[in-house]
Structure 1
Amino acid sequence: MTDVFIECVQGDIADQPDMDAVVNAANARLMPGSGVAGAIHSAAGPGLAEECQPLAPISPGQAVMTGGHDLPNRKVIHCLGPVFGVDEPSDRLLGDCYRNALRLADAEGLESVAFPAISTGVFGYPLAEAAKVAAAAIRDAAPGLSSVRRIRFVLFSESDLNEFRRALA
């Protein structure tokens, strides 16, 4: 197994200048929205939405990659997480977001990726369950990575941070 460093920080997913890519918790149309998608699109500028348009729509669990535009990151990986209680099996679809994002990053030769807590906002995924699914998916994907060496979870609140730290422990 390759050595992959996994960390959790409290902060803003749109302000991770030391990461090659940030992951957008996107909507199916890949357009600006609320939460993470709003923050990333706002920081990246209108070019991001323009580049996203022909890639949409995407399905739950799917990931697509664009340039970083005005973000300090080379790439943005857009994942559509499942709506909890609607898109089933939600645990597999949520895990697919993390696995597919890491596959794209690795194929692009990126070394570092920052993730938000996908699906835990308006999509209603319970945070503790989402953290466990994310941790399992990352552990599952890590041995197959050849270029990605650093994975960061960027959590909005201290309670979210603590939940992800517990899941990764």
Structure 2
Amino acid sequence: MTHDEKRLFLIKALLAESMKYPDMEVSDEAYFQDKLLRGLMNVRLPKPVSTEFIKIQDQYLSEKVRLKGVVSAEKILSVRDEFESILPSADRISLWKGDITRLDADAIVNAANTTMLGCFIPCHGCVDNIIHSISGVQLRLACNEMMKGHKEPVGSARLTSAFNLPSKYVLHTVGPVVSGELTKKQCHQLSSCYSSCLELAAKNQLKSVAFCCISTGEFLFPRAKAAEIAIKTVTDFLKKSTEIKKVIFNVFKEEDYDIYRGIICNG
């Protein structure tokens, strides 16, 4: 079965699962097929799936990961080497701009919501959606089994397999939602997201962790303050812990890169 044939198989299998799409037309173009497949995966509820589906999905997603290109976390320069930063533990901290789902760190951090089931909005641009889309339907199933209908408190963290991602694990954390003036409680909660992830990583003997910019997207935490909290919490943790050898601050937007670089270079 070719890559294109696998994509069509997965689309047809997902369409057949629901009575909502009896007359859905599937484009002949690979780009639109891929968008449709991602959207169908995004809205799929956590329910049993056939071993054949999993096998073909895993093959398809593994090929997507290969085509995007895996980035070695180990080879990303530390901020000491790249920027001559004097930040505490600068030799164990890196700044990298790009798609977090390309990193082969021991764990990448997902900015989740309280259900921990991923984003259900088709093809949404949030990191939660992107991570679930590349990991595969197993991630939502694993999160559902882990949560059993409960809600996750803000500032805590959970660990799951990364399935089809290059990383080994995903650390899921729920950041604070800012709807008005930023509060001290929200700042403390964001700091807790970083420390909870690091504590869980160290407990599970993980050596490298890549953080996304938690809460700065849909949750509207001010970017500069979020970066300040992230860097301080991580450097404070690394001062007292030797288990984690590398922490990567992963940013996707140039604005965030400039903010982090400014703090790192003036640290």
User: Shorter-normalised TM-score: what interval?
Assistant: over 0.9
Aligned-partner SS, 1:101 = helix
Matching residue within 182, 202, 220 for 1:106: 202
Please say if residues 25 and 118 of structure 1, whose CA atoms lie closer than 8 Å, have aligned partners that are also in contact: yes
Pick one of 48, 61, 78 that aligns with 2:172: 78
Within 2, Cα distance between the matches of 1:110 and 1:103? Answer: 10
Aligned AA for 1:68?
A: A
CA distance in 2, matches of 1:12, 1:158: 13
CA distance in 2, matches of 1:88, 1:128: 15
Counterpart for residue 45 of structure 1: 136
* Alignment CA distance shift 1:81-1:4 (3 Å): farther
Q: Compared with structure 1, are the counterparts of its residues 8 and 146 closer, same or farther at alpha carbon in structure 2 (3 Å cutoff)? A: same
Out of 103, 119, 123, the position equivalent to 1:16 is 103
* Cα separation, 1, equivalents of 2:184 and 2:219: 13
CA distance in structure 2 between the partners assigned to 1:54 and 1:90 by the alignment: 29
Local SS of the residue matching 1:22:
strand
Aligned CA-pair RMSD: 1.8
Identical residues among aligned pairs (%): 33
Distance in structure 2 (CA, Å) of the matches to 1:85 and 1:135: 23
Give the distance between the partners of 1:137 and 1:88, measured in 2 at CA: 15
Counterpart mapping for 1:127-146 below 5 A: 127-146=223-242
Q: Secondary structure at the match of 2:154?
A: coil
Greater Cα radius of gyration, structure 1 or 2: 2
Partner of 1:157 in structure 2?
A: 253
Structure 1 position 88, deviation (Å): 6.1
> When you count helix as a share of all residues, which structure comes out higher?
2
Q: Distance in 2 between matches of 1:30 and 1:168?
A: 31
- The runs of 4+ residues in structure 1 deviating greater than 4 Å are 1-4, 85-88
Q: Which has the higher contact order (CA 8 A, sep 6+)?
A: 1
Unaligned runs of 5+ in 2: 1-87
Answer yes or no: is 1:118 the counterpart of 2:214: yes
Mind listing any 5+ residue stretches in structure 1 that lack a counterpart?
Answer: none
Aligned residues: 168
2:220 match: secondary structure: coil
Contact kept in structure 2, 1:81 and 1:94, CA below 8 Å = yes
Whose strand fraction is larger, Structure 1's or Structure 2's?
A: 1
Question: Structure 2-normalised TM-score?
Answer: 0.60
Q: Distance in 2 between matches of 1:9 and 1:58?
A: 28
* Residues 116 and 2 of structure 1: CA distance in aligned 2, closer, same or farther (over 3 Å): closer
Tell me which of 82, 93, 115 is aligned to 1:29.
115
> 2:252 corresponds to which letter in structure 1?
F
Q: Quick one: distance in 1 between partners of 2:216 and 2:92?
A: 23
8 Å Cα contact 1:20-1:73 kept in structure 2:
yes
Residue 89 of structure 2 contacts residue 235 of structure 2 at CA under 8 Å; is this kept in 1? no
